[in-house]
Structure 1
């Protein structure tokens, strides 16, 4: 850490793994620039204080029942969190801004700004009433953030059923998605989402700035359009995990035994399989993936979270004879140290759900992807990987053993796979340059730090 600059930044992440990681990474970056860090967080998915000894962590009640915390309906959970956290957050923030009378003014000056996840929509009037500058961090690709405000309109205009001839048609309002992607996306949503998106839009537009964990090399057109649309400072500070790893903010304990196992494998021979912290699959899908991995004859490292498979605890549904085949060529773990895994020389491909953090981590390590998106921004990220950057292969929701086996063989054994590897090496180099001195993300980070200083002086 640089010498303290006397300024404090308050951060407020959403309690989802994909949102916690970038917020904690941002906290580490700002701390390294001399800012003191206070993280306000919910009881649900609370970060471990022992992992962040240099931060002040303040917990607020979130009002979620045990049943609600197990819900797979993310939109419902976010709606409930925004309803139930408003009052506790107000109390916590007000206490932070208040101090014994003799120190009140000094304390107020020390707190430079609030940075909250874009999913928190109740913060705008509260920060305004406290005269506290407010910045927004969005954990998705800028293209998705800008495009997803078209969903209410697309929801109103959707006409069922979608004809086969229309499946591949592009969606003008939300490129590079295809109609079949939007239909899968909208099938999960409701009018609750439409109102929620409108609140996100308004809260972001009235903020003092918008932060993305992306860079011009990955998002140039959308970043330019976002700046025009919102008329606020936009900071694309790049893949922050390259500056500080996210392992200390993981909500699940990684199985470190996978690294010695990878050490024994040949270079670029292993397919890494992980669907992140939210995706759930059926028992039949688990079996199809198992057969596909086994039949590919390619070494694999497969992450299956406890509770990821609907109706069963872990992998007990896989028949004993199939497990015997799997154990010959692969390793199954409940969670993995993903950044360390993707850096490993044995990894030659990544069968992924295409969450934004995972997608960027894969690009930064030059690991080509096999894309199997399930929810939310994953559909758009997969299209960029396969159709725009052309550094991966798309399963198109075909969770079928022959499709999985065949796609793995293409990536590892055929000329098409080698071309994909060459492309992702070039993209890796471009993105890596962005975070180096005078790169686009480096300059955006410098601008963000200057902006926070400026906010504190107003």
Structure 2
């Protein structure tokens, strides 16, 4: 009897991509494939310290985790200086990756028959191609942002970047977005004013890099991003839309009757006391506030958000990572109105079990940085959003949330207490019914795509078949 394929997964070593790829790893295990999950030593240490991934994957004898060095010192900030991380991965990790694949062939472990890697790690294709191992790419960002990346050479050629004024001028060189994409909605690095910016150099190669792989796996679904997916297929015809990954996994587990208790892939320790607080709040009355794992705010921005939230009169659950506030003035006195308003209507934690929070019946809105995992989790649970994007893909995502999908409000490039107050009131009171209705319609589409015969269900079945016969 033929052995099942042995797939090696290699995520980009940051919270969002690791979270998505662990869910993909479990989906592949449920499909009876053999899976090796390769992470950097730094990420592995964080997972062991804060997540439940070990106990979860103990259920799968066909799963193993391997580690590799990212070549950086322990105290390097990594996410804050992503280009340094990426350069080190290419320089230091690539030869280790190749050596690991070669050595696995001479050991008792089964040879890796397929590589599934983050598409930004182009060296995985180079190594796989050299060793005769097929490679599938995964991109854990939105299709709409990926398409903008694909169009970066066009934007440069047309002279649409760099730019330095009139942030609301429309962009004409991204097919399918000509009517609504503004300069301010481009990925954050496009504001550098310099086409030799390292980020632009990195992402402008995607249109050449991604088509090299056997296929492109995306954490999205056709009903959400269909028109943009059609544009991407002009360059990458073989796309697998298998999202939303977090609920695709839950659906597969439920179908097997093996849905397990709440689990976490977090690199931070979760404070679950917030769930008990939510239990005591009325239905759809709480706005959840979280800016993800990498966003940093100034002390001034922090205070503007706090004033705006309290002045809105709404209940709020706010995630404030200990490392997220720059130059925090711990000695300053908190105004009495903020302290009183927070005690009456707010709850603040260092980190929260986000999927569980967004699914909670008390949550009626999400003030978010528009990271793609957060956006999809909100879409699936039918929670309208206020978007305050930080970097890379989040500017594009927020424009689609606010002006294409009509799932909330885009607050980019603004941090003013009066604006925060007004938008929170609009989302949670003034236009609450309108936003909840639209969010509910999209949530139903997200659920339909995962049932047998749905678009993501079919796409995943095709992926499993193609991994076995690349």
Deviates more, 1:39-48 or 1:182-191: 182-191
Runs of 5+ in structure 1 lacking a partner? none
Deviation at 1:439, TM superposition (A): 0.5
1:97 is matched with which residue: 105, 118, 123? 105
Q: Does 1:227 align with 2:233?
A: yes
SS at match of 1:114: strand
Query: Relative to structure 1, is the Cα distance of residues 124 and 317 closer, same or farther in structure 2, using a 3 angstrom cutoff?
Result: farther
Q: Bigger CA drift: 208-217 or 46-55?
A: 46-55
The answer for the alignment partner of 2:446 in structure 1 is 431
Is contact 1:12–1:39 with CA below 8 Å preserved after alignment? yes
Which of 392, 414, 426 matches 1:376? 392
Aligned equivalent of 1:139 = 140
- 2:241 equivalent in structure 1: 236
Matches within 5 A, 1:270-285: 270-285=286-301
**Does structure 1 retain, via aligned residues, the 8 Å contact 2:297–2:324?**
yes
- Relative distance call for 1:155 and 1:308 in structure 2 (3 A) is farther
- State the alpha-carbon separation in 2 of the partners of residues 184 and 147 from structure 1: 12
Q: Give the superposition deviation at 1:453.
A: 1.3
1:144, distance to aligned residue in structure 2 (A): 1.3
Q: Secondary structure at the match of 1:243?
A: helix
**Is the deviation greater in 241-250 or in 342-351?**
241-250
1-structure distance, mates of 2:377, 2:331: 30
Identify which of 272, 288, 303 aligns with 2:319.
303
Q: Give the equivalent residue in structure 1 for 2:404.
A: 388
Moved more, 394-403 or 327-336: 394-403
Provide, for residues 350-409 of structure 1, a one-character-per-residue CA deviation record: whole Å limited to 9, x for no partner: 001111110010010000001111111111111111101111012232211111111111
Question: CA–CA distance in 2 between the matches of 1:209 and 1:317?
Answer: 54
Aligned length: 441
- SS of 2:43's partner is coil
**CA, structure 1 residues 317+21, in 2 after alignment: closer, same or farther (shift >3 Å)?**
farther
Aligned partners of 1:362 and 1:369 also within 8 Å: yes
SS in 1 for 2:326: coil
Once the two structures are superposed, what CA deviation does each residue of 1:202-234 show, in whole Å capped at 9, x if it has no partner? 332211111001111011122222222124x21
Q: Which residue of 2 aligns with 1:180?
A: 184
- Does residue 162 in structure 1 map to residue 165 in structure 2? yes
CA contact (8 A) 1:283 1:317 kept: no
RMSD, aligned α-carbons: 2.4
- In structure 2, stretches of 5+ residues that fail to align are 251-261
Aligned residues of 1:4 and 1:35 also touching (Cα < 8 A): no
**Change over 3 Å in CA distance of 1:143–1:183 after alignment to 2:** closer
Which residue does the alignment assign to 2:436?
Answer: 421
Q: 1:256-295 residue pairs with structure 2 within 5 A?
A: 256-295=272-311
Distance 1:316 1:113, change over 3 A: farther
Out of 60, 64, 69, which is 1:61 matched to?
69
Query: What is the Cα deviation at residue 88 of structure 1?
Result: 1.4
Q: What TM-score results when the alignment is normalised by the length of structure 1?
A: 0.90
Q: Distance in 2 between matches of 1:90 and 1:19?
A: 22
Cα distance, 1:185 vs. partner?
3.7
Structure 2 distance, partners of 1:316, 1:411, is 34
